[in-house]
Structure 1
Amino acid sequence: MTGMKRSGRFGKYVVLGFFLLVFSGCAGTYSLVEFEVLEPATIRFPDEVDQLLILNRSPVTFKVLSPENREGLERKELWILDTLVSNNVMRGLLYVLRNSPVKRYQFPIFLSERRLDTLFQQDLLLTKREVASLCERAGTDAVVSLERYSLDLEEHYDFYSAGDDGVADVAVVRNHYYIFSNRIDWAVYLPLNPRPFDEYTTIDTLYFSRISEGVFQGAPSSAEMIRELFYESGLKYGRYLVPVWAHASRTLFKGDGKLLRTAARHTRRGEWEQAFALWDELGESGDSTLAAKAFHNMAVYYELEDQLDSASLMIDRALACDSLEMVIFYREEMDIRLMNRREVVKQVIH
């Protein structure tokens, strides 16, 4: 087998946008390659959907809070809280849309038409006529609706006793932390559908420590905690709607033999073709374990070149030589990549 030249396809947006090589150092058996892959969205909009309307129709009601959290809260404070929630969940959602390679969804139209019910009813969905009217008015093809949200805050203390030489024990705070959690219900509507095209719920929880093991850590304000929680929820739902870049890493074998170590030095200097030639040589050696490691490394090379079929073949050749645990794990990861590839292409290329 001869080493292949770089195809120059690292800019191909369907799979790899760019990659970053991070190595664990000269010592050791492995090195790490980090890069980004494009993962498909969970749902796929129909081909005719080009423009999205992001609608906030969640009711502004005290029922978004648990009974203990809403006690003493005035209407003005409720509106301030709702503004904080709405702005940050939409900010997180917009961040994902703007950074997705699906350009037609990068600039959605935002609209706020809040429900007026105060009973927090779960079944007050938009009708087909209402969806068609919204899309016609906004010039959009689909409505992504924030249906409702809820917020809960808990404060926890853990104590331990501190006493000395017969002095009565005194309760001392060991841990003091806050738990912020939320639930957000979303729905996607299409003008011609009598029921929602998709419904999805995000449930998120964040912990904020004020005192840990008796040491004061400090904590952000309640407003900052709420801001972070709902921003993260917006990010999560955005990743549900559109393909996003995700961190990935692969491990290279670099020890156990002079040629592997030499190849590792080439990869550290970015000389991948030279490293590939050495792995190719090892693949034809009589040592099945070294051959398996070489084929594994060649698979990583092909994956970085966006040649997933060739990478998959190299993994199979590695497993035929030796069933190394790392190679078995790589086989599982590559199967997921191959399964996602066709869906990513469908979602990105329109």
Structure 2
Amino acid sequence: MTIETYNPSEVTFPESVGKVLIVNNAVPQPADSGYEYTLMGVKQDTCVAVADSALFYACRSLGKSIVDADYFNDVLLYHDAVREDKEYLSDVKLTPEQVTSLCEETGTEAVISLDRLLFEMEKDVFTFPEGYVMGNIKVDIAGVVRCYLPGRSNPLATVYMSDSIFWNESADDPGMLKYILPDANSALCTAGDYIGAKVYVNFVPHWVNESRWYYSGMDSRWKEAAVATAGEKWTLASERWSAIYNGTSNWKKKAKSASNLALCYEMEGDLKKAYEWASLSYDLFKKNIKGEDNNTKLLELYVETLMNRIRSDQKLNMQFGEE
């Protein structure tokens, strides 16, 4: 089954930060840099890809994703690029004076800055003997995002990001392929939008999809408990699994029902009890099975996951100013 867990951000801002500013402090790479286009086996020497808009898309996507997380009181996108030099390969931090000036100008308490963003794009268009045309695009993305607070000599945090995005399309002829496959500029903008939406999790608490499982059995008590679990009636399910656990002397049934109880308590938000039951289940499997098997490996991962969730909840409480 799939569940959603609420996770803290990597960066913890002071409680005083309620309004943040997204800034583009990166220099766009030249249009003739980082783009290789092969057409029918021949590399094209006149291809260009303009990255200016891609930087804007990355900042806008980052800001929108942070807004959607509903953590800060307000998120602003700065209207101009900050840097005026042409050193696109350089990773240049904002100075303390720049941070103070930007915060004073916009009424914000923190700055999240895109300090560098580079793209490597490969496009390949070729034909198959059957007569149709295939087009592939791969964009590798690498960048640096930092958050700054006024009055600090160094950034609060630095995030290095890298990822790739792909397209693979086919058409009857090259003319039709142009309508299906994005052009170079559009591909870069999509890549910028993608990386901005991905990196936001470093700065705000966020939801993550995770997988869980539970054991079932053939007798009526197990089926009844499994129905309650499948229906997400967690209080009823925990009562049924407890009855099974307490009513059997079979170690394997105890181990499986203990694991299911851990899931019930996790879904009810009692992570400490969930950890205790998952640990009990793991210990039973470990004690009675020689060597490693799938059950032992799964329970070991689950125990670790629950411990990480307990730590995450402590960090979440801190980020929301709760004890």
TM tier, smaller = 0.7 to 0.9
Structure 2: which 5+ runs fail to align?
Answer: 38-43, 287-294
Q: Specify whether residues 195 and 317 from structure 1 end up closer, same or farther in structure 2 by C-alpha distance, changes over 3 A only.
A: closer
- Mapped contact 1:178–1:208 kept (Cα < 8 A): yes
Matched residue SS, 2:217 = coil
- Mapped contact 2:35–2:120 kept (Cα < 8 A): no
Deviation at 1:126, TM superposition (A): 2.3
- Mapped contact 1:55–1:146 kept (Cα < 8 A): yes
Q: Deviations over 1:123-170 (max 9, x none)?
A: 5432222221121111111221112322221124688878xxxxxxxx
- Mapped contact 1:101–1:348 kept (Cα < 8 A): no
Deviation at 1:112, TM superposition (A): 1.9
Equivalent runs, 1:125-204 vs 2, <5 Å: 125-156=93-124, 176-204=135-163
Matched residue SS, 2:79 = strand
Q: Specify whether residues 204 and 316 from structure 1 end up closer, same or farther in structure 2 by C-alpha distance, changes over 3 A only.
A: closer
Letter in 2 for 1:220: L
Deviates more, 1:108-117 or 1:218-227: 218-227
Deviation at 1:67, TM superposition (A): 6.7
2:76 to 108, 120, 125: 108
Matched residue SS, 1:248 = strand
Aligned length: 300
What residue number does 1:29 align with?
none
Matched residue SS, 1:252 = coil
Distance across 2 between alignment mates of 1:202 and 1:98: 20
What residue number does 2:55 align with?
86
Distance across 2 between alignment mates of 1:67 and 1:101: 37
Deviation at 1:322, TM superposition (A): 2.5
Letter in 2 for 1:311: A
Letter in 2 for 1:195: N
TM-score scaled by length of structure 2: 0.81
Distance across 2 between alignment mates of 1:64 and 1:342: 49
What residue number does 1:262 align with?
224
Distance across 1 between alignment mates of 2:274 and 2:112: 38
- Mapped contact 1:60–1:115 kept (Cα < 8 A): no
Deviation at 1:64, TM superposition (A): 8.3
Deviates more, 1:242-251 or 1:256-265: 256-265
Distance across 1 between alignment mates of 2:219 and 2:202: 45
Q: Specify whether residues 195 and 150 from structure 1 end up closer, same or farther in structure 2 by C-alpha distance, changes over 3 A only.
A: same
- Mapped contact 1:55–1:145 kept (Cα < 8 A): yes
What residue number does 2:211 align with?
249
Q: Deviations over 1:250-286 (max 9, x none)?
A: 1011125432222112333444433322211111111
Distance across 2 between alignment mates of 1:304 and 1:225: 41
Letter in 1 for 2:214: L
What residue number does 2:310 align with?
338
Structure 1: which 5+ runs fail to align?
Answer: 1-31, 163-171
Distance across 2 between alignment mates of 1:224 and 1:257: 58
What residue number does 1:20 align with?
none
Q: Specify whether residues 192 and 349 from structure 1 end up closer, same or farther in structure 2 by C-alpha distance, changes over 3 A only.
A: same
Deviation at 1:114, TM superposition (A): 3.6
- Mapped contact 1:109–1:138 kept (Cα < 8 A): no
Distance across 2 between alignment mates of 1:123 and 1:311: 45
Matched residue SS, 1:62 = coil
Q: Specify whether residues 269 and 145 from structure 1 end up closer, same or farther in structure 2 by C-alpha distance, changes over 3 A only.
A: closer
What residue number does 1:317 align with?
280
Distance across 2 between alignment mates of 1:291 and 1:312: 16
TM-score scaled by length of structure 1: 0.75
Q: Deviations over 1:274-316 (max 9, x none)?
A: 3322211111111111111111111111111111011111112
Calculate the aligned-residue CA RMSD, in Å. 3.0
- Mapped contact 1:56–1:112 kept (Cα < 8 A): yes
Distance across 2 between alignment mates of 1:96 and 1:185: 17
Equivalent runs, 1:193-342 vs 2, <5 Å: 193-211=152-170, 219-222=180-183, 223-284=185-246, 285-323=248-286, 324-325=295-296, 326-342=298-314
Letter in 1 for 2:254: A
